[in-house]
Amino acid sequence: MSLENIEKPVPSDFIRDIVAKHVAEEKYPRIHTRFPPEPNGYLHIGHAKSICLNFGIAREFGGICNLRMDDTNPTKEEIEYVESIQTDVNWLIGDWAEDRLGLKPKGKTPQTISGDGKRDFIQPAIFGTSEAERKNSTTPFEPFYASDYFDQIYDYAEQLIEKGKAFVCDLSAADMELYRGAPDRPGQDSPFRNRSAEENLDLFQRMKAGEFPDGARTLRAKIDMASSNVWLRDPILYRIKHAEHHHTGAKWCIYPMYDFAHCLSDYIEGVTHSICTLEFEVHRPLYDWILESLHLPRALPKQYEFAKLIPSHTIVSKRKLIALVQDKIVTGWDDPRLPTISGIRRRGVTATALRNFAIGVGVTKYISLTDVAVYEHAIREDLNKRSLRRLAVLRPIKVVITNYPEGKVEELDAVNNPEDLNAGKRQIPFSRELFIERDDFAEVPPPKFFRLKPGGEVRLKYAFIIKCDEVVKDAAGNITELRCTADLDSKMGGPTAGRKVKGTIHWVSAAHAIDAEVRLYDRLFTEAEPEKDGRDYRTVLNPNSLEVITAKCEPSLNHADANERYQFERLAYFTLDKDSTPGKPVFNRTITLKDAWAKEAQKG
RNA sequence: UGUCCGAUGGUGUAAUGGUAACACAGCGCCCUUUGGAGGCGUUAUUCAUGGUUCGAAUCCAUGUCGGACAGCCA
């Protein structure tokens, strides 16, 4: 079984309970969910939860999950985002749910079916393929687009007008706000509410034909201006926007609103369970009203809502993320400190780890703050199992082994991954002059310091036990070199190999070490809730969220593989960054190892 | 002073009228050629009040607190 396929027990939550019940009742021929982002920004960790929920359900119940661009507002959406969304979704679902991904042949628009003298629109999904198969296929696939249904949605709007359930309204935006009332105060009917179906049809067609400027008129549902639910107070279905659309070009100058387009898109695609976040709870009656008013021939989709993921020590709102990029607080959408999926990926977090986290937080209707420590645990748990161990010294100090011959080099065996012996071994060169970590030596050791100290002994990982004989300093009193003697019998297999010394430290041979740029990433914010009580998140930025250093690495790291994950022993997990060039590797620190000594040292 | 939704250890979730459990975090111990990983142990929980019931985290009522909703955004 591959690492990717090691999964936690199947989760259970209130939505899955509902789905399981529907499966038992055979309510639908097949469970069909969808993940419907608006292509107006990059996907982030919150979307990851939604992706895992929707694809997870498809996977557990033998269903399909469509990827759909919810692109009904041309002024906010761009192709760049459409592409990044596809990349991120494919990466996240990987071989976990790739065969549940519902797509369609490129360019395909809904079929029209006539039965009982009634039109019906259907946009079926193709699924059951792997990403590799799709790439090699002669027929290109693409995600679904709400904008592919503009003709059908327009048709539905006319049907509503004919039924007397929608009207063209000439109220200005300001007047409409006045007429809407407030949550605790009823609204008033629009003076245009009782236009005839013929007049409405004519006006709506002229809206489509481009006769009116932006904002001049809207198409509104005729529901109830006195409803306690503001979303039922004759909500806008269509607005005029003379704007080019990234997918439909200049074809339209009227665009449906989210509420009108979404439920109908779900219906056209045969979605059974339309899962969204809690803020849409109050929209649900409208979702149902539109579908029921149209008297559609097939089973209607139902909307279910869950609480979105709010991770601590970060921000997730699209607007704020854009600000971080624009203010150059981070380097771009894929900055490894960002909670965007592209940033998370670049940081070195695996799709498996992100999924385990996103699934592990559970699905409820309670709005909670998820401690970033839970996320970090999921990353470490995954990386511990898969990462290749390597020796690297971040902040070097020179050590000379005085009883080791000058010019001698020996290759020592080192295990690649103690958690997976199949990962094999490699050899590391050892010689007279080494680098060890500055923090691993203390001239005046604090209590419980297990590392190198004057007159003390420590184990060099995979090598000898050494003893510090002399501390060499420059004129300013800075330590420049440690002179040590090795117990030459103490290496693996040697007579004194079993000798117990309290500490084991990492090292590299000075002559053989390669330099690598290492980017040490940390949390972007120092506070769990950067914007708590309306505070400006800029006041709680972590000044140390990125530190760039040059590290001394064992030679094998010259051939580091971008698809691998590495643990620099005793330090942290790293992955190769895309900025690497041949001979000049750049490593990103994904997450530190747990550091029990740091905790202990803090107590003292 | 409207409608809807919610409340279980420090945090996040489970228990679907029948012993309040799991994970993270914390603390302690064991083990360790990573102060990692692993193992063992431990601290700590049902918003309040009333009701129904043999029995309530679960059902009902009232209250308290928190959230969502008044874009021609999604």
Query: Which nucleotide's C1' is closest to A181 (Cα)?
Result: B70
Closest CA to A467 of A488, A441, A485, A440: A485
A7 pLDDT above the threshold of 70: no
Query: Which nucleotide's C1' is closest to A451 (Cα)?
Result: B35
CA of A307 to C1' of B47 (A): 20
Interatomic CA distance for residues A158 and A199, integer angstroms: 12
Query: Which nucleotide's C1' is closest to A278 (Cα)?
Result: B68
A569 pLDDT above the threshold of 70: yes
Q: Is the CB of A353 under 7 A from strand B?
A: no
Interatomic CA distance for residues A331 and A596, integer angstroms: 32
Interatomic CA distance for residues A318 and A107, integer angstroms: 29
- Residue A221 near residue A294 (C-beta atoms within 8 A): no
Measure CA to C1' and name the residue nearest B8: A366
Measure CA to C1' and name the residue nearest B25: A373
pLDDT-derived band at A59 (thresholds 50, 70, 90) equals very high
Backbone phi, psi, residue A558, to 5°: -65, -25
A2 pLDDT above the threshold of 70: no
A6 pLDDT above the threshold of 80: no
CA of A14 to C1' of B16 (A): 10
Report which secondary-structure segment, H or E, holds A305. Answer: strand A302-306
Give the torsion sign (CA, A13, A18, A21, A23).
Answer: negative
Q: Is the CB of A363 under 7 A from strand B?
A: yes
Q: Is the CB of A459 under 7 A from strand B?
A: yes
CA of A487 to C1' of B31 (A): 25
Interatomic CA distance for residues A462 and A570, integer angstroms: 13
Q: Is the CB of A307 under 7 A from strand B?
A: yes
pLDDT-derived band at A10 (thresholds 50, 70, 90) equals confident
- Neighbour-count burial for A286-317, b at 16+ CB within 10 Å, e otherwise: bbebbbebbebeeebbbbbbbbbbbbbbbbbe
The predicted structure's pLDDT at residue A604: 65
Closest CA to A238 of A144, A145, A300, A161: A161
A130 pLDDT above the threshold of 70: yes
The predicted structure's pLDDT at residue A285: 97
A1 pLDDT above the threshold of 80: no
Q: Are strands A479-487 and A396-401 parallel, antiparallel or unpaired?
A: parallel
pLDDT-derived band at A118 (thresholds 50, 70, 90) equals confident
- Neighbour-count burial for A206-228, b at 16+ CB within 10 Å, e otherwise: ebbeeebeeeebbbbbbbebebe
Q: Is the CB of A79 under 7 A from strand B?
A: no
Interatomic CA distance for residues A213 and A217, integer angstroms: 8
In the structure encoding, which two tokens stand for residue A133, read together? 């198969």
CA–chain centroid gap for A188, Å, is 44
Interatomic CA distance for residues A56 and A37, integer angstroms: 17
The predicted structure's pLDDT at residue A115: 75
DSSP string, A336-375: TTS-BHHHHHHHT--HHHHHHHHHHT---SS---B-HHHH
pLDDT one-digit tens code per residue, A509-559: 999 999 999 999 999 999 999 999 888 999 999 999 999 999 999 999 999
Interatomic CA distance for residues A259 and A216, integer angstroms: 20
Interatomic CA distance for residues A507 and A437, integer angstroms: 7
| Amino acid sitting at position A117 | G
Q: Is the CB of A66 under 7 A from strand B?
A: no
Residue numbers in A 519-558, CB below 7 Å of strand B: none
Q: Are strands A514-521 and A586-592 parallel, antiparallel or unpaired?
A: parallel
Q: Is the CB of A12 under 7 A from strand B?
A: yes
Stretch A76-84: mean pLDDT: 97
Residue numbers in A 161-200, CB below 7 Å of strand B: 171-173, 176-177, 180-184
DSSP string, A48-114: HHHHHHHHHHHHHTT-EEEEEE----TTT--HHHHHHHHHHHHHHHHHHHGGGEEBEETT---EEEE
Residues in CB range of A94: below 8 A, 6 or more apart: A4, A351, A352
CA of A51 to C1' of B59 (A): 35
What DSSP designation does A182 have? Answer: B
Give the torsion sign (CA, A438, A444, A445, A451).
Answer: positive
Residue A594 CB neighbours (<10 A): 11
For A512, the 3-state DSSP assignment is coil
Closest CA to A388 of A557, A548, A555: A557
The predicted structure's pLDDT at residue A4: 46
- Give, rounded to a whole angstrom, the gap between the first and last alpha carbons of chain A: 45
CA of A531 to C1' of B10 (A): 21
* Mean pLDDT score across all residues of chain A: 96
Closest CA to A55 of A85, A91, A96: A96
Q: Tell me what percent of the residues of chain A surpass a pLDDT of 90.
A: 94
Q: Is the CB of A594 under 7 A from strand B?
A: yes
pLDDT one-digit tens code per residue, A232-267: 999 999 999 999 999 999 999 999 999 999 999 999
| A21-35, A103-117, A298-312, A500-514, range with the lowest pLDDT | A103-117
Residues in CB range of A449: below 8 A, 6 or more apart: A442
Query: Which nucleotide's C1' is closest to A240 (Cα)?
Result: B72
The predicted structure's pLDDT at residue A533: 86
Residues in CB range of A130: below 8 A, 6 or more apart: A95, A98, A99
Query: Which nucleotide's C1' is closest to A174 (Cα)?
Result: B72
- What is the ipTM score, two decimals? 0.97
pLDDT one-digit tens code per residue, A582-601: 999 999 999 999 999 999 99
Residue numbers in A 205-244, CB below 7 Å of strand B: 214-215, 217-218, 228-231, 235-236, 239-241
Query: Which nucleotide's C1' is closest to A490 (Cα)?
Result: B33
pLDDT one-digit tens code per residue, A183-212: 999 999 999 999 999 999 999 999 999 999
Q: Is the CB of A44 under 7 A from strand B?
A: no
Q: Which nucleotides of B are covered by protein (CB under 7 A)?
A: 1-8, 10-16, 23-27, 33-38, 66-74
Interatomic CA distance for residues A255 and A245, integer angstroms: 10
Q: Tell me what percent of the residues of chain A surpass a pLDDT of 70.
A: 99
